[in-house]
Structure 1
Amino acid sequence: MTTPKPRHPPAVILAGGQSRRMGQNKAGVMLSGRPLIDHVIARLVAQVSALAINAAEPVAVPPGMPVIADTVPGQRGPLAGILTAMRYAAETDPDASHVLTAPIDSPFLPLDLVDRLAAAAHADGASAIAASAGALHPVCGLWRVDLADRLQAFLEGPEEPRVKAFLKTQMMRSVDFPQLDTPAGPLDPFLNLNTPADLERAETFLRVLP
């Protein structure tokens, strides 16, 4: 008997950081004449059932796209955004077992991101986190929605609220993605754009990608 393919999960784009090195909220950054968020949406929209953005302040988004604030106060970093994604998924899609989170500053996300993460996650009910070039990308992952209470307790505990620290306490699978060969050199699909110089690098890659 053929095993049914897991349904597409909902997704939340995390844009709650303060973007000090970029000098402005990344949701408003322009890349190749388009807002950065548009590039991320274009990579994800066919892979997920619904999209929302987690932001600490008003941001310009496509019409109809929900903007959700952290469910915990105090700018607690990416973990607060991940918790918010879990709570939002549970509220808006009760059938969702997992929710995808992805950062606002990664415009080259793999087009098979969800399929590969889901294959690892649904094998044994774990969360699945993307990796490349020997590095884990903990903000880009497929998270079990039912971890929300545990994550909330972790955020309220004494430990520094880092994503990798939380992952050490949970069942997790990492999924390695290859770098892309381009005329401009190897491209990590999880390249983060943190500075104006990073934006220039991204422009170079966009000019040579099909």
Structure 2
Amino acid sequence: MTDVAGVILAGGLARRMGGGDKGLKPLAGESMLARIIKRIQPQVGPLVLNANGDSQRFKEFSLPVAADVVGDNPGPLAGVLTGLEWVAEHSPETEWVVTVPCDAPFIPDDLVERMVFEVIKQDVPLACAMSHGRTHPVVGLWSVALRTDLRQAIVQEKMRKVDRWTERHGICHVTFDDVVIGDEAIDPFYNANKPDDLSRVEGFLKA
């Protein structure tokens, strides 16, 4: 969908993974980030990677890399703001941004389509993915028009929790079913946060 930009959030500190870039961890012959790009890129127009530090470590993916526009690692909202502001500057005709984390290799193929349908149907500026009765705040659809409000919330109000900010504006929740990999039904937003999670996902992919 050319009217939606994609942002892959890779700006975290990955403490539970032992540091480094979660997205560059190998996973059944490919990096986790490569798998996520394959799933989200066909669903969006522009696609950007939100990551800090030397951008050259991601050069194999041929994506623009945008570092956090606010400092001190204020959490995932900083990545969302970075994406919104990058899109406003580089693709000003684009009204929506979808965000996905760099550690969820089973993102649904219809993620963007279903989220766009719901925000239009319910006339709200935000959408959040759900599965198994749980919300996944960083898997979301965001109106670029809210970028100034979000910057104020982060910088002036020291806002850190995604849910606290989104509840101000009106948000719809979109439930997704499990994806089937081999013989296993897996949460589509399963996070590979720790080394054991990577081993589990690799087992699914090799089954």
When the two structures are superposed, what TM-score results if normalisation uses the length of structure 1? 0.91
In 2, the alpha carbon distance for the partners of 1:61 and 1:116 equals: 31
Q: Corresponding residue for 1:95?
A: 93
In 1, the alpha carbon distance for the partners of 2:116 and 2:28 equals: 31
Larger helix share, 1 or 2: 2
In 1, the alpha carbon distance for the partners of 2:95 and 2:69 equals: 19
Counterpart residue identity of residue 166, structure 1? W
Q: How does 1:116-195 map to 2 (within 5 A)?
A: 116-123=114-121, 124-158=123-157, 160-182=159-181, 184-195=183-194
Find out whether 1:207 has 2:206 as its counterpart.
Answer: yes
Q: Give % identity.
A: 37
Question: How far did 1:7 drift?
Answer: 4.2
Question: How far did 1:64 drift?
Answer: 2.8
In 1, the alpha carbon distance for the partners of 2:204 and 2:61 equals: 28
Q: Corresponding residue for 1:3?
A: none
Question: How far did 1:20 drift?
Answer: 1.2
DSSP-derived class of the 2:185 partner: strand
The two structures, once aligned, show a CA RMSD in angstroms of 1.6
Assess if the C-alpha contact under 8 Å between 2:178 and 2:187 holds in 1: yes
In 2, the alpha carbon distance for the partners of 1:186 and 1:28 equals: 25
Q: Corresponding residue for 2:23?
A: 27
Counterpart residue identity of residue 83, structure 1? L
In 2, the alpha carbon distance for the partners of 1:157 and 1:186 equals: 43
In 1, the alpha carbon distance for the partners of 2:24 and 2:180 equals: 29
In 2, the alpha carbon distance for the partners of 1:176 and 1:162 equals: 21
Unaligned runs of 5+ in 2: none
Find out whether 1:105 has 2:100 as its counterpart.
Answer: no
Question: How far did 1:182 drift?
Answer: 4.8
In 2, the alpha carbon distance for the partners of 1:160 and 1:193 equals: 26
Assess if the C-alpha contact under 8 Å between 2:3 and 2:96 holds in 1: no
The number of aligned residues is 203
Assess if the C-alpha contact under 8 Å between 1:12 and 1:99 holds in 2: yes
Question: How far did 1:157 drift?
Answer: 3.5
Question: How far did 1:181 drift?
Answer: 4.4
Question: How far did 1:186 drift?
Answer: 2.7
In structure 2, relative to structure 1, the CA distance for the partners of 1:61 and 1:39 (3 Å cut) is farther
When the two structures are superposed, what TM-score results if normalisation uses the length of structure 2? 0.92
Assess if the C-alpha contact under 8 Å between 2:153 and 2:159 holds in 1: no
- Per-residue deviation, residues 123-180 of structure 1 (Å, max 9, x unmatched): 3142111111011111011100011111111112345411111112111111000123
In structure 2, relative to structure 1, the CA distance for the partners of 1:49 and 1:77 (3 Å cut) is same
Assess if the C-alpha contact under 8 Å between 1:184 and 1:204 holds in 2: no
Question: How far did 1:32 drift?
Answer: 0.8
Unaligned runs of 5+ in 1: 1-5
Q: Corresponding residue for 2:7?
A: 12
Question: How far did 1:206 drift?
Answer: 1.1
